[in-house]
């Protein structure tokens, strides 16, 4: 009599047995195997061969006392030998189980997902996935004809984790999870939430990928980067959508690969003097039009541009050139695609069940249940994963405002108050604090940046002082005010003078970035040059003035690609930037200006040291609304001051301005220079400060201010 009775065998064969590992494999001297497409099956070890007898269609059983074995199966078409996945013991250990269950496994990616390992002397792939409400989980792919009966997984106690070791599989194998939900229905096939790679969309399977294949050479960079990311450092970020920066027209207008970006983009960024690149999300996503902001593969660099090791090589190339890499990270929501996290095990697992909490109506996406410890752990570990495995220097966290408030973009009655009756999402707040504690604690020298558009207090305050713990926050108020001002015809600017000065009243309330991002050049908003008023010459003069003020105002800098050379058209993710514009002197002039601003910003301590320190900035003339003139000073300990004067009307002006010291002052930058596309009006390179006080300064000088221009002065130490 076989050890497995028919009813049990039939349950296993139908994929309806709660514990297939208790039936299949070697138990009490009996081998039971499930091979649906076999007619005959043998257990084999060396010269020992025992035929197993059919218990029901697809299930075979026989006595075996020979220890480890392989299986041999045959049908009229073929005979094949293979290692039985059900003869192998568990891979996950008790500590892993405990940490997963507790929601504190910081290196979750080392135990979940698909890993090529050697287990009990055999090479293969270990799969592990969290699906606590599932009745059965199977891994499926071409290796088992996508038959969910073939590799039913082992449930690991109360953790909700399922695992299986599949001998013989290798990196590159495509796989998905077939899940029998608690309601007894099969869910849509699911990609691996901790998958390290994916097929090219629109295909939906995950791919087995090995981590750590790239030989890193950035040890010196990692050691020294803390000084390059801290608040006193010059940080100038070039924001990039990797798929549309450049394309290869002769090859079907394809995007550049990670390898190509590692040469062309890195060279360009270095030439332009930016200190960092920030990539729009490169985590795997199903829809190109989301630009990566609706990710499904949170642990996978998108295959659109290459394999994971090629992404790593691009980051390494940047570090070797002294350039930091920041990735846009999206923990605020996820898409409703059936192969993603939506009702992953047949229940609202990663998301809230109540759409008032779990559905983001603005983007037709789902919201993570940050209060569930396993979900928070999944995301916290993901943040660390990118910093650890791919040596990223920072994460810019998208849509933080939507996470902080339960009533974000909702009307009364469309949201659920917190336990205190308030609108704050206490669970999301705790999650963001945990991410920042983990990131800065585990990877000193990195930065986290919040895209947060409200007045929520303490975004960049340390968590032990009640803050969210981010390193920096995007200054959306500055961006809106300044763009509104520069969009106005200069004749009206006198009535809106405070739109420029107001930002200085709160500029040190947080550690700010000044962002001119992709959000300002899409969805009908046009381009930066297109926002400027007047004819062509005035548009360019206004844009040059805007950039000079942006680079000299307190706050780290961020500029989206294409705006550095005044691209006319709105950004289009399906095509490359309008590089041909650089043949025109006006466009090349703007790029020259941005390059020189980056050089001055990095080399002159006064222009960056006080980005987040009140001692680094003071107004000299903030009130001359009638002339639309602004004058201010940047300073730093032990460094020469820099004085910036702006004339934001199309009328040339001669003004007396205050200066902090006497003697000669060099004109270190003039946006009206013909090198930048201007008319070349200026101060002949120098001004002389006399001892007559002006504008609350002990010295003063007559200064010529060209129309719609910014001029910058520093003491001339060569005299």
CA distance 371 to 369: 5
- Kindly report the three-state secondary structure assignment for every residue of 549-616: HHHHCCCEEEEECCHHHCCCCCCCCCCCCCHHHHHCHHHHHHHHHHHHHHHHHHHCHHHCCCCCCHHH
CA distance 130 to 104: 14
DSSP string covering 174-215: EEEEEEE-TTS-BPPPB--TT-S-BPSTT---EE---S--S-
Is 712:676 a contact under the CB 8 Å cutoff? no
Strand partners, 397: 329, 450
Q: Which residues of 381-410 are buried (b: 16+ CB within 10 A; e: fewer)?
A: bbbbbbbbbbbbbbbbbbbbbbbbbbbbeb
How far are the Cα atoms of 83, 375, 434 from residue 104, in angstroms, in the given order?
A: 35, 11, 11
Token pair, residue 296, equals 């499904």
Is 428:403 a contact under the CB 8 Å cutoff? yes
How far are the Cα atoms of 47, 55, 59, 71, 118 from residue 39, in angstroms, in the given order?
A: 22, 12, 10, 13, 30
CA distance 447 to 311: 20
Strand partners, 642: 634
Check if 398 is active-site: yes
Is 292:254 a contact under the CB 8 Å cutoff? no
Is 50:63 a contact under the CB 8 Å cutoff? yes
- Give the three-state DSSP class for 312: helix
39 backbone dihedrals φ, ψ, rounded to 5°? -105, -30
What's the burial of 546, exposed, middle or buried (CB within 10 Å: 0-12/13-18/19+)?
buried
Element spanning 400, H or E: helix 400-404
User: Pick from 360, 459, 315: which is nearest to 400 by CA?
Assistant: 459
Selecting among 84, 96, 310, 451, the annotated active-site residue is: 451
Cβ partners under 8 Å of residue 623, min gap 6? 497
Q: How far is CA 532 from the centre of its chain?
A: 30
Token pair, residue 69, equals 């074995």
Is 18:53 a contact under the CB 8 Å cutoff? no
Cβ partners under 8 Å of residue 593, min gap 6? 544, 547, 548, 671, 676
CA distance 271 to 278: 16
What's the burial of 528, exposed, middle or buried (CB within 10 Å: 0-12/13-18/19+)?
buried
User: Pick from 689, 672, 692, 669: which is nearest to 681 by CA?
Assistant: 672
Angle at 444 between CA 440 and CA 449, to 5 degrees: 50
CA distance 117 to 623: 69
Selecting among 398, 481, 499, 510, the annotated active-site residue is: 398
Gap between the terminal Cα atoms of the chain: 105
Check if 626 is active-site: no
Segments of 141-285 assigned E as strands:
154-156, 161-167, 174-180, 206-207, 236-240, 247-248, 254-255, 276-279, 283-284
Q: Which residues of 677-709 are buried (b: 16+ CB within 10 A; e: fewer)?
A: bbeebbbeeebebeeeebbebebbbebbbbbbb
Is 144:150 a contact under the CB 8 Å cutoff? yes
Q: For the beta carbon of residue 535, count every other beta carbon within 10 angstroms.
A: 9
Active-site residues, by number, are 398, 451
């Amino acid at each position: 009599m076989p050890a497995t009775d028919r009813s049990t065998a039939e349950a296993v064969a139908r994929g309806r047995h709660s514990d297939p590992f208790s039936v299949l494999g070697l138990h009490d001297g009996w081998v039971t195997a499930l091979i649906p497409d076999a007619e005959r099956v043998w257990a084999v070890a060396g010269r020992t061969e025992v035929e197993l007898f059919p218990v029901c269609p697809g299930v075979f059983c026989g006595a075996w006392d020979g220890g480890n074995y392989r299986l041999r199966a045959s049908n009229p078409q073929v005979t094949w030998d293979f290692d039985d996945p059900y003869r192998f013991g568990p891979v996950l250990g008790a500590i892993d189980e405990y940490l997963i269950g507790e929601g504190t496994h910081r290196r979750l990616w080392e135990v979940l997902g698909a890993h090529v390992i050697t287990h009990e002397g055999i090479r293969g792939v270990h799969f592990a996935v969290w699906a606590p409400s599932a009745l059965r989980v199977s891994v499926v792919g071409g290796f088992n004809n996508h038959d969910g009966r073939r590799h039913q997984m082992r449930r690991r106690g109360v953790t909700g984790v399922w695992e299986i070791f599949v001998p013989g599989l290798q990196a590159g194998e495509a796989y998905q999870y077939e899940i029998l939900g608690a309601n007894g229905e099969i869910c849509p096939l699911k990609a691996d939430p901790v998958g390290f790679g994916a097929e090219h969309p629109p295909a939906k399977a995950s791919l087995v990928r090995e981590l750590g294949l790239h030989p890193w050479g950035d040890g010196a960079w990692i050691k020294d980067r803390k000084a390059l990311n801290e608040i006193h450092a010059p940080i100038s970020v070039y924001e990039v959508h990797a798929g549309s920066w450049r394309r290869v027209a002769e090859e079907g207008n394809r995007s550049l690969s990670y390898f190509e970006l590692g040469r062309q983009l890195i060279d360009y960024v270095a030439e332009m003097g930016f200190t960092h690149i920030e990539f729009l999300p490169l985590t795997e996503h199903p829809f190109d039009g989301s630009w990566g902001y609706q990710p499904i593969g949170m642990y996978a660099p998108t295959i659109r541009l290459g394999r994971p090791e090629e992404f790593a090589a691009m980051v390494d190339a940047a570090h070797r050139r002294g350039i930091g890499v920041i990735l846009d990270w999206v923990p605020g929501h996820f898409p409703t695609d059936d192969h993603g996290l939506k009702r992953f095990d047949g229940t609202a697992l990663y998301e809230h069940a109540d759409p008032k909490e779990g559905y983001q109506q603005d983007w037709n996406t789902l919201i993570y249940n940050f209060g569930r410890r396993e979900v928070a752990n999944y995301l916290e570990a993901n943040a660390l994963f990118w910093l650890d495995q791919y040596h990223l220097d920072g994460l810019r966290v998208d849509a933080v405002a939507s996470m902080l408030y339960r009533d974000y973009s909702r009307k009364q009655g469309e949201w659920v108050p917190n336990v205190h009756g308030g609108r704050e999402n206490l669970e999301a707040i705790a999650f963001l604090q945990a991410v920042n504690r983990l990131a800065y604690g585990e990877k000193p020298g990195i930065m986290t940046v919040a895209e947060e558009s409200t007045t929520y207090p303490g975004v960049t305050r340390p968590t032990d002082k009640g803050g969210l713990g981010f390193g920096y926050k995007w200054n959306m108020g500055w961006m809106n005010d300044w763009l509104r001002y520069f969009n106005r015809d200069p004749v009206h600017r006198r009535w809106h003078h405070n739109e420029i000065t107001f930002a200085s009243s709160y500029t040190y309330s947080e550690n700010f970035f000044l962002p001119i991002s992709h959000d300002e050049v899409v969805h009908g908003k046009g381009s930066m040059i297109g926002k400027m008023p007047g004819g062509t010459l005035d548009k360019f003069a206004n844009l040059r003035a805007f950039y000079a003020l942006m680079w000299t105002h307190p706050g780290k800098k961020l500029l989206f690609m294409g705006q550095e050379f005044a691209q006319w058209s709105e950004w289009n993710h399906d095509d490359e930037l309008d590089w041909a514009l650089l043949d025109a002197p006006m466009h090349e002039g703007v790029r020259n200006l941005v390059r020189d601003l980056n050089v001055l910003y990095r080399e002159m301590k006064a222009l960056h040291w006080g980005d987040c320190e009140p001692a680094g900035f003071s107004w000299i003339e903030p009130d001359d609304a009638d002339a639309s003139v602004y004058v201010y000073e940047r300073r730093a300990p032990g460094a020469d001051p820099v004085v910036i004067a702006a004339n934001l009307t199309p009328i040339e002006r001669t003004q007396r301005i205050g200066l902090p010291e006497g003697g000669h002052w060099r004109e270190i930058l003039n946006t009206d220079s013909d090198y930048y596309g201007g008319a070349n009006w200026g101060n002949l390179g120098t001004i002389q400060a006399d001892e007559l006080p002006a504008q609350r300064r002990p010295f003063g000088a007559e200064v010529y201010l060209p129309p719609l221009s910014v001029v910058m002065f520093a003491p001339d130490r060569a005299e």
